[in-house]
A and B are shown apart, each in its own frame.
Chain A
Amino acid sequence: MLSFRILDFFIALLYFSGALSFLLGLIYSNKKTQDRSVLITATGFGLHTIDLVLKYALGIGEVLTHSQFYISLLAWSFLLIYFFLWWKLKLKFLSITAAPMALLVFTGSLAISPATLPIPGLLQGLWFGLHIGSLFISMALLTMAFGAGMTYLHLDKKIKSKTRLGNVTRDIPSLQSFDRANHLAVIIGFPLYTVGVLSGFIWAAFTWKTIFTWDPKEVITVIIWFIFAWLFHKRLSGAWRGKKPAQMIILLFVLSLASFVGINFFTETHHSLRP
């Protein structure tokens, strides 16, 4: 288990240097440093993949009940989506959120003591996997779109108010590219979120014989779903573009963060990851 500790440490170190060097590359508007920082983060991502696969392969069955594994998986999916968006939209810039978020969540996973989750019930593999997989991917999309949205609002304000574009702003990609990231996050993210929520309810129906338990997390999830559905509709119909979807996605991200951090760690429910 010591070897895993060392591996985890290296991954965290790589994410840290990736995040830091990107920031430095941005401040000093040095393209090479920015490219290198993405390479560092990618190396961390590769190690992280190996780490997850090994943990799963070595401790099959057991590892799935460790909350640490899930949080680490969430950090991993942030980067998975980051690289997906990079490939799709050439948006290297989102490294500004991807690397620090991966670092934060990954080190967070190391910090909590390995608690065992009670995962009861039949059919848990299929429904639970679907539940976690689709929700994590949509969360990762939401996180990237959050970064894109924040940058969009910043740049939009700068251009609108005709203030001077400094060196840092000059390196930021165009407004349109951030809007495209938002579009992708909504178009892919919302269906996945729906699948995640539905599979959760179905799974709950199998295991607890009730569908809705008024658990605070379930309530906030339904609220998020409705807002998300509204945004999805407005985006698809073309009524919203640019600023409004950016603001909405930020709201959604904050709500999800609140539900994830607040409810998973500070309340006693069956969604709790508390040890």
Chain B
Amino acid sequence: MEQRIYLVGLNHKTADVEIREKFALSGFNPVSDGLMHKGSNISEALVLSTCNRVEITCISEKKPEEIKPNVIKVWAEYCGENPELLKEHVYWLEDLEAVRHLFSVASSLDSLVLCEPQILGQLKDAYRKSVDEKTAGVIINRLLHKSFSAAKKIRTETAVCSSAVSISYAAVELAKKIFGELHEQRAMLIGAGEMAELAALHLINSGLKEIMIANRTPERARELARKFNGHAMCMEKMLENLHRADIVISSTGSRTSIISAAQIREVLKKRKHQPMFFIDIAVPRDIDPDVNSLDNVYLYDIDDLKEVVEENLANRREEAERAGEIIVKEVDKFSDWLKSLDLNPTIVDLLNKGESIARKELKKTLRSLGPGTDETTSMAMEQLAVSLVGKLYHEPIVFLKRRSKEEGSSQKFIDLARRIFNLDEEQIPQDAHHSKKRE
């Protein structure tokens, strides 16, 4: 029977935050929570639950009409809510549509904040959980691995995620233009609002050395410091520590400016004129605009950054199209594989591969023998090579035929055979499964 892929879910586009909270599936176990009980006909399942999306991917041989109501029911029951309410907000995708969707999710093209890096990690966690709970099988395994590699491909081959489209991203890019790699740089947050936190997150992702947080309420500073593994300080200590910071993000609610050009001049002397980058995202501004006129000091306020972002948005649209093309290509590849996951195509592929190897070796041998080889010898050699391949592959084929008649193990062994003989001609990197290798 043909295996089908179903994906049911809701995200920031179809449901607002209250609904998403109600139907969150954190801690949901497909086996013990009734999704994959004996009669459900679902052979594999993956549950992704983040604050912006909740999705269940499942594999089944049955038709959608038989699967959909059951999945929705189990989901709603787990959350203690009405299935009818859930039905209003979910999208239901089948087969390649589901594959395409999952690839877009992994590459963060479907996210609220395009290209935010967390989603890939969340998807990896969800996959790990499904492996631990033994709900992932051949198809989910492959589907997830391929979605990770599609995400990587889009990240490296298109610039869709490289242009600075969020304000904090733009700030990081500018910091890199000034300092190069940020591994040796220290940053200071003055005021610990949400915006500052987001900017700090981007900076830390780029490998910042240290982060200091100065805030009026020390509790909040300490909270952020714990989160980012940084140092908290009270606002009074800010100025005397400022010379240690290369990047300063200011976002206090102060009515007047809190840092003047004269103060920065002193700070610069203290740090021997090492460059400084100020990002002032407060309104009204925290930092005296004259600071920008000092040598080795760069000051960007929120309007400056917004301008940079808008220029980059235009570039991104083109790149998004290229990313879409990559996804289409990857979905096609996946679809080919899915079709081949049957006994007959696998046997054909296996024999073809064997014969092509035989013919290649035959050609080599004949060439090394020179032109003097007579017809009978070469004919006999050809027969030998081809029949050798047939004999060698006979036992694996018999094994596959026997196993594919058994319940539930068909795909597993076909997939294994395809991988052992590398029938999909995949390039396997040297460091694959590195963590599992024995010393």
- A162, A176, A238, A244: which contacts B275 (Cβ < 8 A)? A176
Give bound CA distance, A173 to B180, whole Å.
7
Per-residue 0/1 for B169-192: is the Cβ within 8 Å of any A Cβ (1 yes, 0 no)?
000001011111000000000000
**In this assembly, does A92 line the interface, its C-beta being within 8 Å of a C-beta of chain B?**
no
Mark out the residues of chain A between 154 and 180 whose CB falls within 8 Å of any chain B CB in the assembled complex.
155, 159-160, 162, 164-165, 172-177, 179
Check A244/B295 contact, CB under 8 A, given A159-B174, A176-B275: yes
- A177, A238, A239: which contacts B180 (Cβ < 8 A)? A177
Contact status A238-B272, CB under 8 Å: yes
CB pairs A–B below 8 angstroms (5 shown) = A162-B307, A164-B308, A175-B179, A176-B275, A177-B180
Contact status B296-A242, CB under 8 Å: yes
Contact status A162-B304, CB under 8 Å: yes
**In this assembly, does B300 line the interface, its C-beta being within 8 Å of a C-beta of chain A?**
yes
Contact status B275-A175, CB under 8 Å: yes
**In this assembly, does A230 line the interface, its C-beta being within 8 Å of a C-beta of chain B?**
no
**In this assembly, does A226 line the interface, its C-beta being within 8 Å of a C-beta of chain B?**
no
Check A174/B177 contact, CB under 8 A, given A159-B298, A160-B292, A162-B300: yes
Give bound CA distance, A177 to B177, whole Å.
10
Give bound CA distance, A123 to B273, whole Å.
46
Mark out the residues of chain A between 26 and 64 whose CB falls within 8 Å of any chain B CB in the assembled complex.
none
User: Inside 8 A of A155's CB, which chain B residues have their CB?
Assistant: 177
Give bound CA distance, A183 to B328, whole Å.
50
Give bound CA distance, A177 to B311, whole Å.
26
Give bound CA distance, A242 to B274, whole Å.
8
Chain B residue at minimal CB-CB distance from A155: B177
Contact status B178-A159, CB under 8 Å: yes
Number of A-B contacts (CB under 8 A): 48
In the complex, how many angstroms separate the beta carbon of A39 from the nearest chain B beta carbon? Answer: 23
User: Inside 8 A of A173's CB, which chain B residues have their CB?
Assistant: 180
Looking at chain B, what size class is its interface with the partner chain?
10 to 19
Which secondary structure dominates chain A's binding surface? loop
- A162, A174, A242: which contacts B176 (Cβ < 8 A)? A174
User: Inside 8 A of A241's CB, which chain B residues have their CB?
Assistant: 272-275, 296
Mark out the residues of chain A between 226 and 275 whose CB falls within 8 Å of any chain B CB in the assembled complex.
238-244
Q: Which 4 pairs show the lowest CB-CB distances between chains A and B?
A: A238-B272, A174-B180, A241-B273, A242-B296
- B178, B292, B308, B311: which contacts A175 (Cβ < 8 A)? B178
Number of interface residues of A (CB under 8 A): 20
Give bound CA distance, A162 to B295, whole Å.
15
Contact status A159-B275, CB under 8 Å: no
Give bound CA distance, A160 to B298, whole Å.
6
Give bound CA distance, A160 to B293, whole Å.
8
Give bound CA distance, A242 to B307, whole Å.
26
In the complex, how many angstroms separate the beta carbon of A167 from the nearest chain B beta carbon? Answer: 10
- B177, B273, B292: which contacts A242 (Cβ < 8 A)? B273
Contact status A242-B275, CB under 8 Å: yes
Contact status B178-A176, CB under 8 Å: yes
Contact status A243-B177, CB under 8 Å: no
In the complex, how many angstroms separate the beta carbon of B129 from the nearest chain A beta carbon? Answer: 39
Contact status B311-A164, CB under 8 Å: yes
User: Inside 8 A of A162's CB, which chain B residues have their CB?
Assistant: 300, 304, 307-308
In the complex, how many angstroms separate the beta carbon of A246 from the nearest chain B beta carbon? Answer: 10
- A164, A174, A177, A242: which contacts B295 (Cβ < 8 A)? A242
Chain B residue at minimal CB-CB distance from A172: B177
Known: A159-B298, A240-B273. 13 other contacts (CB 8 A): A155-B177, A160-B298, A162-B300, A162-B304, A162-B308, A174-B176, A174-B177, A174-B180, A239-B273, A241-B273, A241-B275, A241-B296, A243-B295
Give bound CA distance, A162 to B272, whole Å.
25
Give bound CA distance, A160 to B272, whole Å.
20
Give bound CA distance, A174 to B275, whole Å.
12
Give bound CA distance, A160 to B300, whole Å.
9
Give bound CA distance, A244 to B268, whole Å.
15
User: Inside 8 A of B311's CB, which chain A residues have their CB?
Assistant: 164
User: Inside 8 A of A238's CB, which chain B residues have their CB?
Assistant: 272-273
Chain B residue at minimal CB-CB distance from A239: B273
Per-residue 0/1 for A204-226: is the Cβ within 8 Å of any B Cβ (1 yes, 0 no)?
00000000000000000000000
Chain A residue at minimal CB-CB distance from B174: A159
Chain A residue at minimal CB-CB distance from B175: A174
Chain A residue at minimal CB-CB distance from B296: A242
Give bound CA distance, A240 to B295, whole Å.
10
Mark out the residues of chain B between 284 and 341 whose CB falls within 8 Å of any chain A CB in the assembled complex.
292, 295-296, 298, 300, 304, 307-308, 311
Chain B residue at minimal CB-CB distance from A167: B315
In the complex, how many angstroms separate the beta carbon of B113 from the nearest chain A beta carbon? Answer: 22
Give bound CA distance, A160 to B178, whole Å.
11
Interface-central residue, B178, B300, B304, B311, by most chain A CB under 10 Å:
B178
Chain B residue at minimal CB-CB distance from A241: B273
User: Inside 8 A of A165's CB, which chain B residues have their CB?
Assistant: 177
User: Inside 8 A of B275's CB, which chain A residues have their CB?
Assistant: 175-176, 179, 241-242
Chain B residue at minimal CB-CB distance from A158: B177
Give bound CA distance, A65 to B296, whole Å.
47
Mark out the residues of chain B between 142 and 198 whose CB falls within 8 Å of any chain A CB in the assembled complex.
174, 176-180
Check A176/B273 contact, CB under 8 A, given A159-B174, A162-B307: no
In the complex, how many angstroms separate the beta carbon of B373 from the nearest chain A beta carbon? Answer: 46
User: Inside 8 A of A160's CB, which chain B residues have their CB?
Assistant: 292, 298
Give bound CA distance, A162 to B298, whole Å.
9
User: Inside 8 A of B179's CB, which chain A residues have their CB?
Assistant: 174-176
In the complex, how many angstroms separate the beta carbon of A11 from the nearest chain B beta carbon? Answer: 33
User: Inside 8 A of B295's CB, which chain A residues have their CB?
Assistant: 242-244
In the complex, how many angstroms separate the beta carbon of A26 from the nearest chain B beta carbon? Answer: 16
Give bound CA distance, A173 to B178, whole Å.
9
